[in-house]
Chains A and B, each alone.
Chain A
Amino acid sequence: MKRFLPFSLFFVLVVLLFGCARIKYTTREKRVEIFEHGGRNVEFTVIGRKNFYLWGHFPKDSTVYLDEVVHQATGYFDPAEISIEDFQSFPQFLASFFSIGLYTPRSYRIKGYAIRPKQYDQ
């Protein structure tokens, strides 16, 4: 019992203090349609990363602005029918594992359709 008590207390403490990373996906300014109704002429994929520290406690909330991320990465605009994959790659997993969670990177992959500006065709 004496050996079990510290371990169970530690278990409760860890579970209570444990905070996995929180990533919110939204837009800042421009409208991003949920469903594609025609007019978008190019398919895109954007991969990004968010870094978290101390078991995901810092920063507690992290936001991905879909309109900004897509435009900055591809130059395309008016994205639609976006699918979001939230994942941890194997190297990121290893980084988390060997730092015991002090550094916890996560990635996101955004796929969808957008409008390619005409100057890109020239």
Chain B
Amino acid sequence: MSLAILLGAALAVVCVVLVALPFLREPDPASDELDELTPERRQRLALAEERDRALAALKELEADHRAGRINDEDYRASIGPLRREAAEALRALDR
């Protein structure tokens, strides 16, 4: 019984130390603000996602065409808009 209580108390102490660790490590930090995506960085992230999406779609279209899943007619109809999307996303990201 006493061993169980001792172990229980030790567990509680270890947990409290772990929880308090950020405050023990930095009792007086220069900044306690959470780092956050600014609106500009969020915009860049959205553009980067857009660019990756367009490039992935282009890559997939090429692969589908090479493999014969898409015929020449469908390929020609799709490749133009996809290239434009990718170029727009890249331009926006470069600005």
Q: Do A and B bind each other?
A: no
